[in-house]
Every structure is written in C-alpha cells, then in structure tokens.
C-alpha cells in the first residue's frame, strides 16, 4: 500500500498582539528522492521509492526517458526497443531543489554473472557485502546495493488457500495489485458460460463478489494491460464460440465492450508483450478436427482498439498454454491427434516462431505462471490420467526440470502468478470429473532478501 504523504497547507500570516504580522516560517525542504526497488513487467520498468516528484527526470544508462505514470511512491517507465538484456543504472532526479537517487536494474537474461549450474540456478552476486535484509530499506549505517537474492529455505511448495465461492473449471484468472480475479468458467460438461466474477484478496485470504461479466463464457483468454483486465473469446455453451471482447476495470468495478475478435473461438490462449495482447490458436468447433483454426495468431493494440494478424503458430493444437519470459511468448503442450509435449517461442519483434525443448512428458489443459524468469506448468492431464506434478522451464538453458506434486490434481484450472512470486491454480476438474472450487498456491523458492553494505 502506498504511504500517504502529508498535504502541505497554505501558511497563514497571523497578526501579533501589537497588530503586526508574524514573520513567515522557512519553507520545508522537499522530501528526498529514494529508489527502493525496481521490477520489469514486460516492456515496462516500475520503480518504487519514498518520493518521486511530478516533474521527475529519469535516465537509463545515461539516456533520458519519459515516465508514463508518476506517483509519489511509484514511477512507470517504458523500456526502449534498443535496450538489450543487461544491467543498467537508473537515475531519478526530481523536486526543487533537485534530489536524486540511482539504482541498478537487470533487464532480460543478462546481468551479473549468469547461472552456470542446473536450470533455475541463481546468478551469484558480488562479494564484499555484509548483510541481508528483508526490506530494500537498509538498516542504519548501511546502504542498499541494488542486488537481491532468493533464499531456497522458508515456506516453499504448495499450500491450499480459501476456496472460491463458486466451483468451476475453464475459469480465466489474473492478478492486479494484490487481488486475484476469477472470471467466467463452467459448472459442468454442458459448458454453459458463467458471468461470475469473484475476487481473492491475497493479503487477507478472502473472496468477494464483483460485477458480473456481460457475456457469460468459459475458456476465455485473459490479459492485463495498464491495470485493466481484458477478456476475449471463449465458449457461450457446448458448441457455441464467441468473439466477445470485454474489459474490466478493478478500480471502478465496471465492464466495457471492445472490438470483437475477428474469428470467434471456443478456447483461446493469450499473452501480453509490451502493451499488446496476443491471442493464439484454439479451435472454432468441437465438431471440427482438433486442430481446426488453432494456428491463427492475432494481436490487439489497446491504443487503436484494433486487431492485426501475426505469424501462425507452427504446431496446430488445442488445450495448450502460454507464458511470457523476457518479452518472448512460449506456447507449450496441448493436443492434436494426441497429447503433445511441443514447445515453441514467438518473438514479437521479428514476428517469427522457433522450436524449443519439449516438455518432459505430453500434457494438456494445464495452467502456467512465470516467476523470476522461470515458466511453471501445473495441473492438466496426459492422454491417460491427471498430471499430479508441476514442471518448470528455464529459457536461458532451454531445459525443463521436475517440480513438486500438486495437492489436488486438476484439469482445466485457471492459472496466474502474482508479483510476489506465487503461482495460483484456480478451480478445475479433479479425479472422477468432480468440479472443484479449490485455490492452490505454489511458491517455488523462499523469501527474497536485499543485499546491503556498510557505509
């Protein structure tokens, strides 16, 4: 939660007993600009700190950039197209008289010495730093180095959270500012789409009902752009696809209609890269061959409210999943004539797909989330049975690793990852076809510690 700054009130000149005005007080010094943390979200850099003036000047690697949003405790800055992977110094200058602070941020796979160990291993940080803290704010006598390390201890693995009020599968899930939104879905094999929207407060482990989605549906694609939740396509009922495209604003609890997707689809996979929503594949009819319509890729630009075709997915399939790492889109698993292990990556800059290492075993109907540059896949099923474990993909090594077993194996669950590095598995169908309301949370590592050095 943002800290509320005191509002400066006009200084009133009060008359003394002799009728003379009291001398004015000296103006208070402006707050100091301090950067406490930085995170990269797609093509955007988000800085948090104690004070950013409305007229703040920001530079990355010495080049001046313009923030798209300025708040007292947060700056949102678009990353330049030419800014490749690496570690850069970010400087913010603001207020009058000017105060400034600098912070090192790693963008992409490069940065401080890269991992040379097994997939998912952490980069080593420079030696000579003497303290780890739970906050980017250093203790007295220390300064923050700009480096953090993720502990492998602590409370890791799977935990069960408060279940959804409405049991369902085919639900679309997204996290915005610490709240998980579970949207739509179905209650049974009839695939009658639901308008239901329920919000889970991560901090309090509680659910609340929200404004229903105008078009009830199941298996819809979902993506977050500038704090708004975009929901596209899906199934109205058993064999009725929809091109409906609607946007939910969590701040106002209201829905708005947008330009419909050109080709209605029963189930779609979506991903957001640099403020563009990509809609990938899925089939137009259960009566059609399983791959019918699946290769189609379309991109939606919210600035123009328009759709544009993109390079088709090489492997036609359904029931696959999509994740984004370092602005690359990864399509994995799914089914065609049988269940697939295929993985393919799309580069929006070149509009081209390339083959990647396949999953350890074929899987479909699973959920994904990206945490600290690693893509996690959980739930789903093989041709024969439910998949009981999670697996992870490391793009830097183009390799997969096994993960911990899911407490309740489910097919068709919604999935998303929070900014705090937790993967959520929402609802789904369990053993025997039972539709569940469970919310399962996976933490792949222990807490993040901030590295400080003595002054």
Give tens-digit pLDDT for 74-119. 888 888 776 666 667 788 888 767 777 776 666 654 333 333 334 3
Classified as helix, coil or strand, 320 is: coil
CA distance 67 to 87: 19
- Which tokens belong to 267? 């189930």
At residue 383, the pLDDT reads: 85
What does residue 246 show for φ and ψ, rounded to 5 degrees?
A: -135, 150
CA distance 132 to 453: 9
Mean pLDDT for 183-204 is 94
Taking 50 as the threshold, does the pLDDT of residue 257 lie above it?
Answer: yes
- Which tokens belong to 315? 């492997």
Q: Is the peptide bond before 97 cis (omega within 30 degrees of 0)?
A: yes
Domain boundaries, the chain: 35-153, 157-444
CA distance 279 to 261: 9
Give tens-digit pLDDT for 14-26. 233 334 444 555 5
CATH number for the domain running over 35-153 = 2.60.40
The CATH number fitting domain 157-444, selected from 2.120.10.80, 3.90.550.10, 1.10.240.10, 3.30.160.620: 2.120.10.80
Give tens-digit pLDDT for 231-252. 998 889 877 888 899 999 999 9
Inter-residue contact 74 to 31 (CB < 8 Å): no
CA distance 333 to 144: 42
Inter-residue contact 31 to 50 (CB < 8 Å): yes
Taking 70 as the threshold, does the pLDDT of residue 189 lie above it?
Answer: yes
At residue 7, the pLDDT reads: 26
CA 19 to each of CA 10, 13, 26: distance values in angstroms, whole numbers, following the listed order: 21, 11, 21
CA distance 379 to 412: 8
Give tens-digit pLDDT for 377-422. 999 999 889 988 889 998 878 889 887 788 899 999 999 999 888 9
């Amino acid at each position: 939660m943002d800290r509320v700054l005191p509002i400066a009130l006009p200084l009133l000149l009060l008359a003394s007993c002799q009728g003379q005005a009291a001398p004015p007080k000296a103006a208070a010094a402006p707050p100091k600009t301090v950067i406490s943390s930085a995170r990269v979200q797609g093509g955007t850099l988000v800085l948090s700190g104690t004070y950013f003036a409305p007229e703040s000047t920001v530079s990355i690697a010495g080049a001046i950039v313009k923030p798209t949003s300025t708040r007292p405790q947060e700056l949102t800055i678009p990353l330049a197209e030419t800014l490749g992977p690496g570690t850069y110094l970010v400087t913010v200058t603001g207020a009058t008289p000017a105060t400034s602070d600098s912070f090192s941020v790693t963008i992409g796979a490069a940065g401080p010495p890269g991992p040379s160990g097994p997939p998912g291993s952490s980069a080593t940080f420079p030696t000579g730093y003497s303290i780890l803290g739970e906050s980017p704010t250093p203790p007295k006598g220390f300064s923050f180095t700009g480096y953090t390390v993720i502990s492998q201890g602590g409370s890791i693995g799977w935990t069960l959270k408060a279940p959804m009020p409405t049991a369902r599968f085919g639900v679309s899930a997204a996290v915005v500012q610490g709240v998980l939104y579970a949207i739509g879905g179905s209650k049974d094999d009839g695939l009658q789409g639901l308008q239901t929207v329920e919000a889970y407060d991560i901090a309090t482990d509680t659910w609340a009902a929200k404004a229903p989605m105008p078009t009830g549906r199941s298996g819809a694609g979902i993506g977050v752009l500038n704090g708004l939740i975009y929901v596209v396509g899906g199934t109205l009922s058993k064999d009725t696809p929809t091109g409906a495209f609607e946007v939910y604003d969590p701040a106002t609890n209201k829905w708005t209609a947008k330009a419909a997707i050109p080709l209605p689809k029963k189930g779609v996979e979506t991903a957001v890269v640099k403020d563009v929503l990509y809609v990938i594949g899925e089939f137009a009819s259960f009566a059609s061959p399983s791959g019918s319509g699946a290769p189609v890729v379309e991109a939606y630009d919210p600035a123009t409210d328009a759709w544009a075709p993109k390079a088709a997915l090489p492997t036609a399939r359904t029931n696959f999943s999509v994740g984004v790492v370092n602005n690359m889109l990864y399509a994995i698993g799914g089914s065609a004539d049988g269940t697939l292990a295929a993985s393919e990556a799309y580069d929006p800059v070149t509009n081209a797909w390339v083959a990647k290492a396949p999953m350890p075993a074929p899987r479909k109907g699973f959920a994904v989330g990206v945490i600290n540059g690693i893509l996690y896949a959980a739930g789903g099923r093989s041709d024969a049975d439910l998949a009981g474990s999670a697996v992870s993909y490391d793009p830097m090594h183009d390799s997969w690793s096994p993960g911990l077993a899911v407490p309740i194996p489910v097919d068709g669950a919604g999935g998303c990852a929070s900014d705090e590095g937790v993967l959520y598995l929402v609802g789904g169908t369990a053993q025997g076809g039972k539709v569940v309301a469970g919310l399962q949370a996976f933490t792949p590592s222990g807490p993040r510690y901030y590295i400080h050095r003595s002054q």
